Amino acid sequence: MYFRVIFGVLCMLMSAGIVQAAPFAYIANNTDATVSVLDTASNTGSATIAVGQQPYGVAVNAMGSRVYVSNQTDKTISVIDTMDNSVSTIALANTPGGLAVNAAGTRLFVADNDGATLSVYNTATQSKLATVSLGYNLPEGVAVGPATSGAYSVYVSCNGSDKVVVVDANDGTSSYAKSATEYTVGSTASPGPKGLGVTPNGAKVYVANWTESSISVINTATSGVSTIASGSGVAALSLPFGVAVSPDGLKAYVSNSGALDKVSVIDTASDTVTAAISVGQAPMGIAISPNGAKLVAANSLAGTASVINPATNTVSATPAVGQYPNSLGNFAGPVFFDITATPGSGGSINPVELVTRNPATGIIKAAGGLDLNVAITPDHNYATTSVTVDSGNVGTPATYLFPAVAAAHTVSATFSRTAWDLALTKTGNGTGRVVSNVGGMDCGTACTGQTVSIPVNTTSVVLTPTDDLLQTRQKRLPWSVVGPRIGCRSPQATTPRSPAA
Protein backbone atom coordinates (compact mmCIF):
# COMPACT_ATOMS: atom_id res chain seq x y z
CA MET A 1 0.00 0.00 0.00
CA TYR A 2 1.14 3.58 -0.59
CA PHE A 3 -0.12 7.14 -0.24
CA ARG A 4 0.41 9.26 -3.37
CA VAL A 5 -0.57 12.88 -3.82
CA ILE A 6 -0.47 14.88 -7.04
CA PHE A 7 -0.25 18.66 -6.97
CA GLY A 8 -1.45 20.73 -9.88
CA VAL A 9 -2.42 24.24 -10.75
CA LEU A 10 -5.84 24.77 -12.34
CA CYS A 11 -5.14 27.18 -15.17
CA MET A 12 -8.73 28.07 -16.04
CA LEU A 13 -9.49 31.39 -17.68
CA MET A 14 -13.05 32.59 -18.22
CA SER A 15 -13.90 34.67 -21.28
CA ALA A 16 -16.92 36.84 -21.85
CA GLY A 17 -18.03 37.16 -25.18
CA ILE A 18 -28.71 47.88 -30.23
CA VAL A 19 -28.36 52.22 -30.13
CA GLN A 20 -32.03 53.15 -29.59
CA ALA A 21 -34.41 50.40 -30.78
CA ALA A 22 -37.99 50.92 -31.78
CA PRO A 23 -40.86 50.19 -29.40
CA PHE A 24 -42.97 47.18 -30.34
CA ALA A 25 -46.60 46.23 -29.87
CA TYR A 26 -47.71 42.61 -29.65
CA ILE A 27 -51.14 41.85 -31.13
CA ALA A 28 -52.75 38.49 -30.29
CA ASN A 29 -54.59 37.10 -33.32
CA ASN A 30 -57.31 34.92 -31.85
CA THR A 31 -58.15 32.90 -34.97
CA ASP A 32 -54.61 32.59 -36.34
CA ALA A 33 -52.98 31.38 -33.12
CA THR A 34 -50.27 33.96 -33.73
CA VAL A 35 -48.93 37.21 -32.34
CA SER A 36 -48.17 40.05 -34.76
CA VAL A 37 -45.21 42.20 -33.76
CA LEU A 38 -45.58 45.84 -34.79
CA ASP A 39 -42.70 48.28 -34.99
CA THR A 40 -44.52 51.40 -33.80
CA ALA A 41 -41.69 53.68 -34.91
CA SER A 42 -42.18 52.75 -38.55
CA ASN A 43 -45.79 51.59 -38.07
CA THR A 44 -45.06 48.32 -39.85
CA GLY A 45 -45.18 44.65 -38.97
CA SER A 46 -41.81 43.18 -38.08
CA ALA A 47 -42.60 39.54 -37.21
CA THR A 48 -45.32 36.94 -36.70
CA ILE A 49 -44.92 34.53 -33.80
CA ALA A 50 -46.77 31.22 -33.46
CA VAL A 51 -48.36 30.74 -30.03
CA GLY A 52 -51.16 28.55 -28.64
CA GLN A 53 -54.74 28.25 -29.79
CA GLN A 54 -57.06 31.23 -29.32
CA PRO A 55 -54.62 33.76 -27.87
CA TYR A 56 -56.51 36.40 -25.94
CA GLY A 57 -54.73 38.33 -23.16
CA VAL A 58 -51.31 39.94 -23.56
CA ALA A 59 -48.93 41.49 -21.03
CA VAL A 60 -45.51 43.02 -21.73
CA ASN A 61 -43.22 43.44 -18.75
CA ALA A 62 -41.90 46.93 -17.99
CA MET A 63 -38.41 46.04 -19.25
CA GLY A 64 -39.81 44.87 -22.58
CA SER A 65 -37.89 41.60 -22.30
CA ARG A 66 -40.83 39.21 -22.00
CA VAL A 67 -44.33 39.09 -23.48
CA TYR A 68 -46.97 36.82 -21.92
CA VAL A 69 -49.91 35.57 -24.01
CA SER A 70 -52.90 33.63 -22.66
CA ASN A 71 -54.08 30.83 -24.98
CA GLN A 72 -57.64 29.90 -24.12
CA THR A 73 -58.15 26.65 -26.03
CA ASP A 74 -54.73 25.26 -25.09
CA LYS A 75 -54.98 26.40 -21.47
CA THR A 76 -51.41 27.69 -21.69
CA ILE A 77 -49.36 30.85 -21.43
CA SER A 78 -46.87 31.54 -24.22
CA VAL A 79 -43.78 33.37 -22.95
CA ILE A 80 -41.99 35.31 -25.70
CA ASP A 81 -38.35 36.32 -25.29
CA THR A 82 -38.22 39.58 -27.23
CA MET A 83 -34.52 39.25 -28.08
CA ASP A 84 -35.16 36.47 -30.60
CA ASN A 85 -38.97 35.97 -30.37
CA SER A 86 -38.45 32.43 -29.07
CA VAL A 87 -41.39 30.97 -27.15
CA SER A 88 -41.66 28.83 -24.02
CA THR A 89 -44.91 27.55 -22.56
CA ILE A 90 -46.53 27.45 -19.13
CA ALA A 91 -49.24 24.77 -18.82
CA LEU A 92 -52.35 25.77 -16.85
CA ALA A 93 -55.17 23.94 -15.13
CA ASN A 94 -57.78 26.53 -16.15
CA THR A 95 -58.77 28.58 -19.17
CA PRO A 96 -56.85 31.87 -18.93
CA GLY A 97 -58.40 35.29 -19.47
CA GLY A 98 -56.52 38.52 -19.02
CA LEU A 99 -53.13 38.78 -17.39
CA ALA A 100 -50.72 41.36 -15.99
CA VAL A 101 -47.12 41.63 -14.76
CA ASN A 102 -45.89 43.51 -11.71
CA ALA A 103 -43.57 46.50 -12.14
CA ALA A 104 -40.45 44.48 -11.31
CA GLY A 105 -41.33 41.85 -13.90
CA THR A 106 -41.05 39.07 -11.32
CA ARG A 107 -44.73 38.11 -10.95
CA LEU A 108 -47.34 37.17 -13.53
CA PHE A 109 -51.04 37.33 -12.62
CA VAL A 110 -53.47 35.23 -14.68
CA ALA A 111 -57.27 35.42 -14.49
CA ASP A 112 -58.58 31.84 -14.41
CA ASN A 113 -61.64 32.41 -16.57
CA ASP A 114 -63.37 29.14 -15.69
CA GLY A 115 -62.02 28.85 -12.16
CA ALA A 116 -63.17 32.03 -10.35
CA THR A 117 -59.55 32.39 -9.24
CA LEU A 118 -56.38 34.39 -9.89
CA SER A 119 -53.13 32.47 -10.33
CA VAL A 120 -49.75 33.97 -9.42
CA TYR A 121 -46.55 32.84 -11.14
CA ASN A 122 -42.85 33.40 -10.56
CA THR A 123 -41.64 34.65 -13.94
CA ALA A 124 -38.05 33.48 -13.42
CA THR A 125 -39.02 29.85 -12.80
CA GLN A 126 -42.43 29.94 -14.54
CA SER A 127 -43.84 28.12 -11.51
CA LYS A 128 -47.10 28.83 -9.72
CA LEU A 129 -46.77 30.55 -6.34
CA ALA A 130 -50.41 30.96 -5.31
CA THR A 131 -54.04 30.59 -6.31
CA VAL A 132 -56.38 33.25 -4.94
CA SER A 133 -60.11 32.52 -4.75
CA LEU A 134 -62.07 35.54 -5.98
CA GLY A 135 -65.61 34.45 -5.20
CA TYR A 136 -67.12 35.59 -8.53
CA ASN A 137 -67.43 33.98 -11.95
CA LEU A 138 -65.51 34.68 -15.16
CA PRO A 139 -62.53 36.71 -14.00
CA GLU A 140 -61.41 38.59 -17.08
CA GLY A 141 -59.31 41.74 -16.87
CA VAL A 142 -56.26 42.14 -14.62
CA ALA A 143 -54.37 45.34 -13.75
CA VAL A 144 -51.60 46.03 -11.23
CA GLY A 145 -51.42 49.18 -9.11
CA PRO A 146 -48.22 50.98 -8.01
CA ALA A 147 -46.19 49.48 -5.18
CA THR A 148 -45.64 51.02 -1.76
CA SER A 149 -42.91 49.42 0.36
CA GLY A 150 -43.18 46.27 -1.72
CA ALA A 151 -46.96 45.96 -1.37
CA TYR A 152 -49.44 46.65 -4.16
CA SER A 153 -52.98 45.93 -5.30
CA VAL A 154 -54.05 43.70 -8.17
CA TYR A 155 -57.47 44.50 -9.64
CA VAL A 156 -59.53 41.75 -11.31
CA SER A 157 -62.79 42.31 -13.19
CA CYS A 158 -65.27 39.44 -12.89
CA ASN A 159 -67.22 39.43 -16.14
CA GLY A 160 -69.97 37.16 -14.84
CA SER A 161 -70.89 39.61 -12.09
CA ASP A 162 -70.81 43.32 -11.25
CA LYS A 163 -67.62 43.09 -9.20
CA VAL A 164 -64.01 44.18 -9.35
CA VAL A 165 -62.04 42.22 -6.76
CA VAL A 166 -58.84 43.48 -5.13
CA VAL A 167 -55.97 41.11 -4.35
CA ASP A 168 -53.37 42.31 -1.85
CA ALA A 169 -49.88 41.40 -3.09
CA ASN A 170 -46.50 41.55 -1.41
CA ASP A 171 -43.62 39.94 -3.27
CA GLY A 172 -41.22 40.33 -0.35
CA THR A 173 -43.36 38.12 1.87
CA SER A 174 -44.80 36.07 -1.04
CA SER A 175 -48.25 37.01 0.24
CA TYR A 176 -51.19 37.06 -2.19
CA ALA A 177 -54.70 37.17 -0.75
CA LYS A 178 -58.14 38.54 -1.55
CA SER A 179 -58.68 41.91 0.06
CA ALA A 180 -61.70 42.78 2.14
CA THR A 181 -62.19 45.60 -0.36
CA GLU A 182 -64.16 44.91 -3.53
CA TYR A 183 -66.08 47.21 -5.83
CA THR A 184 -69.53 47.03 -7.38
CA VAL A 185 -69.43 48.50 -10.88
CA GLY A 186 -72.07 49.44 -13.44
CA SER A 187 -75.73 50.11 -12.78
CA THR A 188 -77.17 46.70 -13.68
CA ALA A 189 -76.89 43.24 -12.16
CA SER A 190 -74.49 42.05 -14.86
CA PRO A 191 -72.65 44.94 -16.53
CA GLY A 192 -69.95 42.58 -17.87
CA PRO A 193 -66.73 44.31 -16.72
CA LYS A 194 -63.71 43.52 -18.88
CA GLY A 195 -60.65 45.75 -19.35
CA LEU A 196 -59.10 47.74 -16.51
CA GLY A 197 -56.72 50.67 -16.33
CA VAL A 198 -55.01 52.09 -13.24
CA THR A 199 -53.63 55.64 -13.05
CA PRO A 200 -49.88 55.78 -12.33
CA ASN A 201 -50.49 57.10 -8.80
CA GLY A 202 -53.06 54.38 -8.10
CA ALA A 203 -55.77 56.92 -7.28
CA LYS A 204 -58.27 55.74 -9.90
CA VAL A 205 -59.18 52.53 -11.69
CA TYR A 206 -61.16 52.69 -14.95
CA VAL A 207 -63.36 49.70 -15.76
CA ALA A 208 -64.92 48.94 -19.16
CA ASN A 209 -68.42 47.55 -18.59
CA TRP A 210 -68.85 45.67 -21.86
CA THR A 211 -72.46 44.50 -21.61
CA GLU A 212 -73.77 47.76 -20.17
CA SER A 213 -71.74 50.10 -22.42
CA SER A 214 -70.51 52.25 -19.56
CA ILE A 215 -67.27 53.07 -17.76
CA SER A 216 -66.92 52.76 -14.00
CA VAL A 217 -64.39 54.96 -12.20
CA ILE A 218 -63.12 53.64 -8.88
CA ASN A 219 -61.67 56.10 -6.37
CA THR A 220 -59.25 53.91 -4.41
CA ALA A 221 -58.88 56.43 -1.56
CA THR A 222 -62.60 56.69 -0.79
CA SER A 223 -63.71 53.35 -2.29
CA GLY A 224 -66.35 55.31 -4.16
CA VAL A 225 -67.46 54.29 -7.66
CA SER A 226 -68.88 56.66 -10.27
CA THR A 227 -70.19 55.86 -13.74
CA ILE A 228 -69.55 57.41 -17.13
CA ALA A 229 -72.70 56.53 -19.03
CA SER A 230 -73.00 56.42 -22.79
CA GLY A 231 -74.06 59.80 -24.18
CA SER A 232 -74.45 61.38 -27.58
CA GLY A 233 -71.79 62.44 -30.07
CA VAL A 234 -68.24 61.93 -28.79
CA ALA A 235 -69.65 60.74 -25.45
CA ALA A 236 -71.24 57.65 -27.00
CA LEU A 237 -70.02 54.26 -25.78
CA SER A 238 -70.66 50.88 -27.43
CA LEU A 239 -69.46 47.60 -25.89
CA PRO A 240 -66.31 49.08 -24.30
CA PHE A 241 -63.64 46.40 -24.09
CA GLY A 242 -60.14 47.61 -23.27
CA VAL A 243 -58.71 50.47 -21.20
CA ALA A 244 -55.31 52.16 -21.38
CA VAL A 245 -54.18 55.03 -19.14
CA SER A 246 -51.53 57.51 -20.33
CA PRO A 247 -48.19 57.47 -18.46
CA ASP A 248 -48.88 60.96 -17.08
CA GLY A 249 -52.29 59.84 -15.82
CA LEU A 250 -54.15 62.66 -17.59
CA LYS A 251 -56.04 60.55 -20.12
CA ALA A 252 -57.77 57.18 -20.25
CA TYR A 253 -58.48 55.53 -23.58
CA VAL A 254 -61.31 53.04 -24.07
CA SER A 255 -61.87 50.85 -27.13
CA ASN A 256 -65.51 50.48 -28.21
CA SER A 257 -65.93 47.05 -29.79
CA GLY A 258 -69.53 47.73 -30.87
CA ALA A 259 -70.85 49.60 -33.88
CA LEU A 260 -69.03 52.87 -33.16
CA ASP A 261 -65.57 51.70 -34.28
CA LYS A 262 -64.05 54.38 -32.08
CA VAL A 263 -61.64 54.88 -29.21
CA SER A 264 -63.04 57.14 -26.49
CA VAL A 265 -60.73 59.66 -24.81
CA ILE A 266 -61.48 60.39 -21.15
CA ASP A 267 -60.15 63.37 -19.22
CA THR A 268 -59.21 61.84 -15.85
CA ALA A 269 -59.57 65.12 -13.96
CA SER A 270 -63.24 65.55 -14.85
CA ASP A 271 -63.98 61.91 -15.83
CA THR A 272 -65.70 63.00 -19.00
CA VAL A 273 -65.34 61.79 -22.58
CA THR A 274 -63.67 64.61 -24.48
CA ALA A 275 -62.97 63.01 -27.87
CA ALA A 276 -63.62 59.94 -30.00
CA ILE A 277 -61.02 58.63 -32.45
CA SER A 278 -62.27 56.72 -35.50
CA VAL A 279 -60.34 53.47 -35.98
CA GLY A 280 -60.92 50.10 -37.69
CA GLN A 281 -63.90 47.83 -37.27
CA ALA A 282 -64.64 46.54 -33.74
CA PRO A 283 -61.56 47.65 -31.79
CA MET A 284 -60.92 45.42 -28.79
CA GLY A 285 -57.47 45.61 -27.24
CA ILE A 286 -55.98 49.05 -26.57
CA ALA A 287 -52.52 49.87 -25.22
CA ILE A 288 -50.25 52.89 -24.94
CA SER A 289 -46.46 52.87 -25.09
CA PRO A 290 -44.67 53.59 -21.80
CA ASN A 291 -43.42 56.93 -23.12
CA GLY A 292 -46.93 57.93 -24.18
CA ALA A 293 -45.95 58.51 -27.81
CA LYS A 294 -48.06 55.79 -29.45
CA LEU A 295 -51.52 54.38 -28.80
CA VAL A 296 -52.45 51.11 -30.53
CA ALA A 297 -55.92 49.62 -31.03
CA ALA A 298 -56.48 46.05 -32.24
CA ASN A 299 -59.39 46.08 -34.71
CA SER A 300 -60.89 42.62 -34.36
CA LEU A 301 -63.18 42.46 -37.40
CA ALA A 302 -60.84 44.37 -39.70
CA GLY A 303 -57.70 42.33 -39.08
CA THR A 304 -55.74 45.53 -38.57
CA ALA A 305 -54.21 47.68 -35.87
CA SER A 306 -54.69 51.44 -35.64
CA VAL A 307 -51.54 53.29 -34.56
CA ILE A 308 -52.65 56.58 -33.01
CA ASN A 309 -50.77 59.76 -32.13
CA PRO A 310 -52.18 60.66 -28.67
CA ALA A 311 -51.01 64.25 -29.00
CA THR A 312 -53.36 64.87 -31.91
CA ASN A 313 -55.87 62.00 -31.53
CA THR A 314 -55.23 61.03 -35.14
CA VAL A 315 -54.46 57.65 -36.71
CA SER A 316 -50.93 57.54 -38.13
CA ALA A 317 -51.16 54.14 -39.81
CA THR A 318 -53.33 51.03 -40.04
CA PRO A 319 -51.05 48.04 -40.61
CA ALA A 320 -52.55 44.62 -41.30
CA VAL A 321 -52.17 41.97 -38.61
CA GLY A 322 -53.77 38.51 -38.30
CA GLN A 323 -57.31 37.23 -38.06
CA TYR A 324 -59.54 38.51 -35.26
CA PRO A 325 -56.96 40.43 -33.23
CA ASN A 326 -58.06 41.21 -29.68
CA SER A 327 -55.22 41.55 -27.11
CA LEU A 328 -56.82 42.29 -23.76
CA GLY A 329 -54.21 43.96 -21.58
CA ASN A 330 -51.01 45.97 -21.89
CA PHE A 331 -49.45 44.84 -25.17
CA ALA A 332 -47.21 47.87 -25.93
CA GLY A 333 -43.51 47.70 -25.09
CA PRO A 334 -40.94 50.40 -24.32
CA VAL A 335 -38.32 52.16 -26.42
CA PHE A 336 -34.96 50.44 -26.01
CA PHE A 337 -31.50 51.94 -25.62
CA ASP A 338 -28.27 49.98 -26.07
CA ILE A 339 -25.98 49.45 -23.12
CA THR A 340 -22.76 48.08 -24.61
CA ALA A 341 -21.00 46.02 -21.94
CA THR A 342 -17.37 45.05 -22.56
CA PRO A 343 -15.75 43.03 -19.79
CA GLY A 344 -12.06 42.28 -20.03
CA SER A 345 -10.71 38.80 -19.46
CA GLY A 346 -11.15 37.56 -15.93
CA GLY A 347 -14.68 38.80 -15.21
CA SER A 348 -18.16 39.63 -16.46
CA ILE A 349 -20.70 42.45 -16.68
CA ASN A 350 -24.35 41.38 -16.44
CA PRO A 351 -27.68 43.15 -15.96
CA VAL A 352 -29.30 42.71 -12.55
CA GLU A 353 -32.85 43.18 -13.83
CA LEU A 354 -34.68 40.74 -16.11
CA VAL A 355 -33.78 42.56 -19.31
CA THR A 356 -32.92 41.30 -22.78
CA ARG A 357 -29.30 40.82 -23.82
CA ASN A 358 -27.92 39.84 -27.19
CA PRO A 359 -25.78 36.75 -26.51
CA ALA A 360 -23.66 37.34 -29.63
CA THR A 361 -22.73 40.97 -28.99
CA GLY A 362 -23.27 41.32 -25.24
CA ILE A 363 -25.41 44.41 -25.86
CA ILE A 364 -28.07 44.96 -23.19
CA LYS A 365 -31.45 46.35 -24.24
CA ALA A 366 -32.46 48.86 -21.56
CA ALA A 367 -36.05 50.11 -21.40
CA GLY A 368 -36.33 53.86 -21.77
CA GLY A 369 -37.22 55.66 -18.55
CA LEU A 370 -36.34 52.75 -16.24
CA ASP A 371 -33.29 52.24 -14.05
CA LEU A 372 -30.79 49.59 -15.10
CA ASN A 373 -28.26 48.04 -12.75
CA VAL A 374 -25.29 46.04 -13.99
CA ALA A 375 -23.17 43.73 -11.83
CA ILE A 376 -19.40 43.78 -12.37
CA THR A 377 -18.16 40.39 -11.20
CA PRO A 378 -14.54 39.17 -11.22
CA ASP A 379 -13.90 35.50 -11.87
CA HIS A 380 -12.45 33.20 -9.23
CA ASN A 381 -8.94 34.35 -8.29
CA TYR A 382 -9.44 37.72 -10.03
CA ALA A 383 -10.19 41.25 -8.79
CA THR A 384 -11.76 44.24 -10.52
CA THR A 385 -9.12 46.87 -11.27
CA SER A 386 -11.20 49.49 -13.11
CA VAL A 387 -14.71 50.23 -14.39
CA THR A 388 -15.27 52.76 -17.16
CA VAL A 389 -18.68 54.21 -18.04
CA ASP A 390 -19.00 56.39 -21.14
CA SER A 391 -15.22 57.00 -21.17
CA GLY A 392 -15.08 58.01 -17.49
CA ASN A 393 -13.48 55.91 -14.74
CA VAL A 394 -15.94 55.19 -11.92
CA GLY A 395 -13.67 53.16 -9.64
CA THR A 396 -14.28 49.49 -8.92
CA PRO A 397 -17.95 49.16 -7.92
CA ALA A 398 -19.59 45.74 -7.67
CA THR A 399 -22.70 47.23 -9.31
CA TYR A 400 -23.35 50.33 -11.37
CA LEU A 401 -26.69 52.13 -11.81
CA PHE A 402 -27.85 53.76 -15.05
CA PRO A 403 -30.78 55.84 -13.74
CA ALA A 404 -33.90 56.42 -15.90
CA VAL A 405 -32.15 55.37 -19.10
CA ALA A 406 -32.71 57.89 -21.90
CA ALA A 407 -29.66 57.31 -24.11
CA ALA A 408 -27.18 54.65 -25.17
CA HIS A 409 -24.23 54.00 -22.84
CA THR A 410 -21.06 51.95 -22.66
CA VAL A 411 -19.57 50.15 -19.67
CA SER A 412 -16.30 48.26 -19.58
CA ALA A 413 -14.16 46.69 -16.88
CA THR A 414 -10.65 45.33 -16.43
CA PHE A 415 -9.68 42.52 -14.09
CA SER A 416 -6.36 41.26 -12.75
CA ARG A 417 -5.39 37.87 -11.42
CA THR A 418 -4.87 37.73 -7.66
CA ALA A 419 -4.17 34.03 -7.16
CA TRP A 420 -3.77 30.61 -8.75
CA ASP A 421 -5.46 27.44 -7.66
CA LEU A 422 -3.31 24.66 -6.25
CA ALA A 423 -5.13 21.34 -6.52
CA LEU A 424 -4.30 18.22 -4.53
CA THR A 425 -5.42 14.86 -5.89
CA LYS A 426 -5.02 11.60 -3.99
CA THR A 427 -4.20 8.36 -5.77
CA GLY A 428 -3.62 4.94 -4.29
CA ASN A 429 -5.41 3.35 -1.36
CA GLY A 430 -3.40 4.57 1.59
CA THR A 431 -4.29 7.38 3.95
CA GLY A 432 -2.47 10.51 4.93
CA ARG A 433 -2.51 14.25 5.27
CA VAL A 434 -1.07 17.22 3.36
CA VAL A 435 -0.55 20.74 4.68
CA SER A 436 0.91 23.82 3.00
CA ASN A 437 2.71 26.84 4.36
CA VAL A 438 0.69 29.17 2.09
CA GLY A 439 -2.98 29.09 1.17
CA GLY A 440 -4.24 27.11 4.13
CA MET A 441 -4.18 23.62 2.65
CA ASP A 442 -4.89 20.93 5.24
CA CYS A 443 -6.81 18.05 3.80
CA GLY A 444 -7.18 16.13 7.07
CA THR A 445 -6.12 12.64 8.04
CA ALA A 446 -8.57 11.02 5.62
CA CYS A 447 -7.35 13.20 2.75
CA THR A 448 -8.99 12.69 -0.63
CA GLY A 449 -8.13 16.02 -2.21
CA GLN A 450 -8.35 19.78 -1.77
CA THR A 451 -8.00 23.01 -3.75
CA VAL A 452 -6.62 26.25 -2.30
CA SER A 453 -5.78 29.65 -3.74
CA ILE A 454 -2.15 30.78 -3.73
CA PRO A 455 -1.54 34.55 -4.09
CA VAL A 456 0.30 35.59 -7.25
CA ASN A 457 3.14 37.24 -5.31
CA THR A 458 4.07 33.99 -3.59
CA THR A 459 7.66 32.90 -4.34
CA SER A 460 7.33 29.27 -3.25
CA VAL A 461 4.92 26.85 -1.62
CA VAL A 462 6.08 24.17 0.82
CA LEU A 463 3.85 21.09 0.91
CA THR A 464 4.22 18.58 3.71
CA PRO A 465 2.57 15.19 3.14
CA THR A 466 2.37 12.80 6.08
CA ASP A 467 1.36 9.19 5.38
CA ASP A 468 -0.56 6.87 7.64
CA LEU A 469 2.71 5.76 9.29
CA LEU A 470 3.43 9.40 10.16
CA GLN A 471 6.32 9.62 7.70
CA THR A 472 6.73 13.00 6.03
CA ARG A 473 8.44 14.29 2.92
CA GLN A 474 8.35 17.96 1.97
CA LYS A 475 7.77 19.16 -1.58
CA ARG A 476 8.71 22.73 -2.55
CA LEU A 477 6.96 24.24 -5.57
CA PRO A 478 8.70 27.27 -7.14
CA TRP A 479 6.07 30.00 -7.74
CA SER A 480 5.74 33.28 -9.59
CA VAL A 481 3.10 35.81 -10.58
CA VAL A 482 2.15 33.59 -13.51
CA GLY A 483 1.78 30.49 -11.35
CA PRO A 484 4.24 27.68 -10.70
CA ARG A 485 7.40 28.01 -12.72
CA ILE A 486 7.13 24.33 -13.60
CA GLY A 487 3.86 24.88 -15.49
CA CYS A 488 0.26 23.97 -14.93
CA ARG A 489 0.97 20.67 -13.24
CA SER A 490 3.85 19.85 -10.95
CA PRO A 491 5.55 16.48 -10.66
CA GLN A 492 3.82 14.15 -8.25
CA ALA A 493 5.13 13.89 -4.71
CA THR A 494 5.16 10.31 -3.48
CA THR A 495 5.76 9.01 0.01
CA PRO A 496 6.14 5.23 -0.12
CA ARG A 497 5.07 3.22 2.85
CA SER A 498 7.94 1.59 4.81
CA PRO A 499 8.12 -2.19 4.78
CA ALA A 500 6.47 -3.92 7.69
CA ALA A 501 8.72 -4.63 10.59
Query: How far are the Cα atoms of 55, 59, 63, 289 from residue 23, in angstroms, in the given order?
Result: 21, 15, 11, 8
**Are the beta carbons of 257 and 210 closer than 8 angstroms?**
yes
C-alpha triplet 349, 352, 353: angle, nearest 5°: 135
Sheet with 151-158, edge to edge strand ranges: 139-144, 151-158, 163-170, 175-184
Strands (E), 344-418: 347-351, 356-357, 363-367, 372-378, 382-389, 392-393, 399-402, 409-417
Q: Is 271 helix (H, G, I), strand (E, B) or coil?
A: coil
pLDDT at 189: 81
pLDDT at 8: 47
CATH class of 2-12+419-496: mainly beta
Contacts of 373 (CB under 8 A, 6+ apart): 351, 352, 353, 399, 400, 401, 402
Cα–Cα distance measured from residue 470 to residue 472, given in angstroms and rounded to the nearest whole number = 6
Concatenating the DSSP letter of every residue in 292-328 gives SS-EEEEETTTTEEEEEETTTTEEEE--B--SSB--B
The predicted-structure confidence for 446-490, as pLDDT tens digits, reads as follows 788 888 898 988 888 888 888 766 666 666 666 554 454 433 333
**Are the beta carbons of 302 and 282 closer than 8 angstroms?**
yes
**Parallel, antiparallel, or unpaired for β 460-467 and 475-480?**
antiparallel
pLDDT at 5: 45
Chain centroid to CA 416: how far? 33
The predicted-structure confidence for 305-341, as pLDDT tens digits, reads as follows 999 999 999 999 999 999 999 999 999 999 999 999 9
Domain boundaries, the chain: 2-12+419-496, 24-317
Same fold, 2-12+419-496 and 24-317: no
Cα–Cα distance measured from residue 37 to residue 25, given in angstroms and rounded to the nearest whole number = 6
Cα–Cα distance measured from residue 485 to residue 140, given in angstroms and rounded to the nearest whole number = 70
Residues of the chain with pLDDT under 70: 1-21, 468-501
pTM of the model: 0.84
C-alpha triplet 146, 70, 127: angle, nearest 5°: 70
Burial of 312 (0-12, 13-18, 19+ CB in 10 A): exposed
CATH class of 24-317: mainly beta
Cα–Cα distance measured from residue 475 to residue 492, given in angstroms and rounded to the nearest whole number = 9
**Parallel, antiparallel, or unpaired for β 336-343 and 409-417?**
parallel
